[in-house]
């Protein structure tokens, strides 16, 4: 699946495996490592009656309770395979973070941002380490916060969008590194913010995620909550984009989710 794209092959790829009820956890981990993508996700029969399907989401390091682009990718794959939701226009996904609602709209799919499990200031030592690895100084960072809704994100707001774009890819190895950076565009721009997401792979190398639903969800909760942003808005991240809406007390993260490759997998 190609998720949050601005055109073919511009979004975040994710592998979705259908009919995975008989696939073991170890096999899921092995498949995820083999795809060499940031995540792979596995569709199973739901355990809760109100859910349309159950999803297990893996990155090469660990299993995740929630992730954004696997959520939209899995929903689109499930619908493409003939899935019919119990509620017209709303798909209910069961995952480690609970029940996640996904709206079906003319513009694509949008998931309801799950609650953050950690939302507090970043410790000084941890912030200093993240800044050093990203080549940032104290003058570059407006504010920082833990904005973890499952994957473990630390959020850094930089002075502006251009400073976000100017960050060079880190070359030093690191562990437990899941950092999202965000900067505002000038009023009237095509997007409200520029976002980048950095994480370490199992070998400790720092990689960059193309477009990240979970991070955009927690940034929205953080920056709408403190008044920095107002919804609706568009977020750019590398070559992709995410939309953010807010109504009925809920934040919705939307984007495209297109099937690019179909086939069978041999276990």
Q: Which residues of the chain have pLDDT under 50?
A: none
Pairing of strands 53-58, 40-44: antiparallel
DSSP class of residue 138 equals G
Predicted pLDDT of residue 106 = 83
Please work out, in degrees rounded to the nearest 5, the angle formed at the alpha carbon of residue 159 by the alpha carbons of 235 and 175: 75
Active-site pick, 26, 39, 59, 63: 39
Predicted pLDDT of residue 194 = 98
Predicted pLDDT of residue 201 = 87
Predicted pLDDT of residue 105 = 87
Cα distances (Å, whole numbers) of residue 228 to 148, 211, 231: 19, 21, 10
Predicted pLDDT of residue 142 = 98
Predicted pLDDT of residue 56 = 98
**Three-state secondary-structure class, residue 27:** helix
| Domains located in the chain, CATH noted | 2-113+253-258 (3.10.310.10), 124-249 (3.10.310.10)
Structural tokens at position 61 = 């390091």
Q: What is the pTM of this model?
A: 0.94
Map tokens 């990718």 to a residue: 73
Concerning whether 39 is annotated as a catalytic residue, the answer is yes
Predicted pLDDT of residue 58 = 97
């Amino acid at each position: 699946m190609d998720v949050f794209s601005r055109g073919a092959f511009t979004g975040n790829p994710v592998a979705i495996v259908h009919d995975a009820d008989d696939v073991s956890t170890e096999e899921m981990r092995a498949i995820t490592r083999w795809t060499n993508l940031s995540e792979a996700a596995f569709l199973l029969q739901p355990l809760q009656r109100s859910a349309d399907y159950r999803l297990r989401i893996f990155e090469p390091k660990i299993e995740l309770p929630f992730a954004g682009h696997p959520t939209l990718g899995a929903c689109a794959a499930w619908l493409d395979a003939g899935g019919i939701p119990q509620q017209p226009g709303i798909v209910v996904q069961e995952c480690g973070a609970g029940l996640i609602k996904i709206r079906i709209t003319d513009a694509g799919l949008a998931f309801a941002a799950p609650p953050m499990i950690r939302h507090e200031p970043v410790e000084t030592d941890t912030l200093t380490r993240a800044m050093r690895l990203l080549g940032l100084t104290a003058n570059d960072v407006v504010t920082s916060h833990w904005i973890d809704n499952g994957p473990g994100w630390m959020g850094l707001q930089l002075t502006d969008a251009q400073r976000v774009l100017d960050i060079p890819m880190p070359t030093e190895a690191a562990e437990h590194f899941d950092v999202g950076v965000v900067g505002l565009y000038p009023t009237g721009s095509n997007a409200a913010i520029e976002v980048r997401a950095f994480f370490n792979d199992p070998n400790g190398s720092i990689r960059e995620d193309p477009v990240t639903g979970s991070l955009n969800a927690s940034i929205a909760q953080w920056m709408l909550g403190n008044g920095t942003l107002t919804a609706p808005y568009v977020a750019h991240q590398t070559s992709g984009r995410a939309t953010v809406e807010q109504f009925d007390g809920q934040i919705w993260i939307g984007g495209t989710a297109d099937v690019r490759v179909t086939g069978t997998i041999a276990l």
